Amino acid sequence: MIYPVILAGGKGTRLWPLSTQECPKQFIKLINYATLFQLTAERFYDKTLFYPITIISSKRYESHVITQLDQIGINNYDLIIEPEGKDTASAIALVTKKILDRDPNAVILTCPSDHYIPTIKTLLLSIRYGLKHVEKNVIIFGIEPTYPETGYGYIELGKYLSHSCYEVLEFTEKPNIDKAKEFIENGNYCWNSGIYLFKGSIMMNCIYQYEPDIYQAVNEDVVNFSQLKSKSIDYAITEKISNLIVVQTPLKWDDIGSWYSLWNIKNKDDDNNVIEYPNLCVTDNIKNCYISTNTNFISNDIDELFVIESDKVILIMHKDYNQKIKEVVNMNLEPDKILIECENIQLLSIKKVIMIGCKNLYVDINNRYILISPIRYY
C-alpha cells in the first residue's frame, strides 16, 4: 500500500494573470468540470493500492483545499500545513517525516497538484512497475519529450531493468535551450514528470546526506522553515543521488506550467486557435493564438499571439515568450503600460496592459473592445 501525497502549495506564477497568489492554478477550473487539484485528488481511487490522500499546502490555501475536497465528496484525508513555503524539497521532507512517525515502513508517492493527467490507468500501471524497485531506490516517472522545453528536468536512460524501468545515467534540471534541443535529438531522454515514489526511510536518508539543514528543520519539536533556502526536490536531491530509477511511461501528461502548455492541450479551431469566448470575438486570419477575454475582441492578421484578460490587467504576449511570465510577476507592475522585449508597438489603452515579445502591432483597448492588428493598417 502507498501513501499518496499531493503537493498543493505552489503559486502557479507562470499562468499569471489568471493564476494569482490568492488563487493559484491548481485551484482554478482550467480544463473541464473540476480544478486541477480536484482531478489530482480523484486520481487515487484504487483503495487496494492507496491509503487516503495526504495534502501538504500553506495556510493561505487551506480553505481552498478543504472546500474543493468537500465539493467532490472526499472527506477522509490528512492535511499538513507548511510553516512557510520553501519549495518542494522542504515540503516533501516534512510530509515524509510526518508519515514515517506513524508508519516507519511507509512507501510514499508525491504528486504535484497542478498537472494534467487524463490517462489515469496508465499512471497506475506505471506506479505498479515502479513498486518493484522501490526497496532501495527513488523512483521517478519519465515522459517522452515532444519539444525542447527548458522548464522541465531531463532524464537520460541507462540500463534497462524491467517493465519500462531503467537506471538513470544523468538527471539535468531545466537545461538551456541548446542543451534541451541536444537531448531531444539524442532520443535517449525523458522529461521528468515531477512524480516521485520512494520508501520514506530512503528519502529521509537522502535528505540527511545532501540537505542536512532541511533534515534538521523537519525534525525539530517546532518545525521552522524561516532559515531555509527555497529548493526544489530536483535540485536538492534528484540531481545528486545515484539510487535513481526511472519508469518510462506513455502517460499523457502536461504540467500546465505556461500559457503555451495550456494552449497545447486545449481544443482548437481550424486555424489552431484557442478562443475561450468565441461569441465575443470578431476575427479574420488569426492563427495559432490563445484568446481569453471577457471584453469584445477584434483582430485580423495576427499569428502566435496570446491575449489574456483578468479583472486587473490584460496580458498580450507572443507565445514564444511564455516563460517570461515568472519574471513579470516579480516586477514593479505600477505603470499602466509595460512593454518587455517589444518592437514597433502603438498602444492606446485605458486599462493596465503588459506586452511581452510583441512586434509591429497596433493595440486599442477601451471599455467596449480590445482591438489588435498589424501596425501597417494604421
pLDDT at 332: 62
Q: Which pTM does this prediction carry?
A: 0.88
CA atoms within 13 A on the CB side of 112: 27
pLDDT at 151: 81
DSSP code string of 54-84: EEEE-GGGHHHHHHHHHHTT----EEEE-SS
Please check whether residue 283 lies inside any domain of the structure. Answer: yes
pLDDT at 378: 55
Last residue of a domain, one of 257, 288, 309: 257
pLDDT at 19: 87
**For the segment 210-224, what is each residue's pLDDT rounded down to a tens digit?**
999 999 999 988 888
pLDDT at 222: 81
Buried b (16+ CB within 10 A) or exposed e, 314-346: bbbbbbebbbbbeebbeeeeeeeebbeebeebe
Last residue of a domain, one of 257, 282, 298: 257
pLDDT at 333: 64
Please check whether residue 262 lies inside any domain of the structure. Answer: no
pLDDT at 292: 93
- Are 250 and 275 within one domain? no
What is the three-class DSSP state of 173?
Answer: strand
pLDDT beneath 50: ranges in the chain = none
Helix (H) or strand (E) holding 155: strand 153-162
Residue 72 buriedness (CB in 10 A; 0-12 / 13-18 / 19+): middle
pLDDT at 59: 93
Last residue of a domain, one of 257, 281, 305: 257
Q: At what angle do helices 87-102 and 200-210 cross, to 10 degrees?
A: 130
**For the segment 111-129, what is each residue's pLDDT rounded down to a tens digit?**
999 999 988 899 999 999 9
Q: How many domains does the chain have?
A: 2
Domain around 338: 267-377
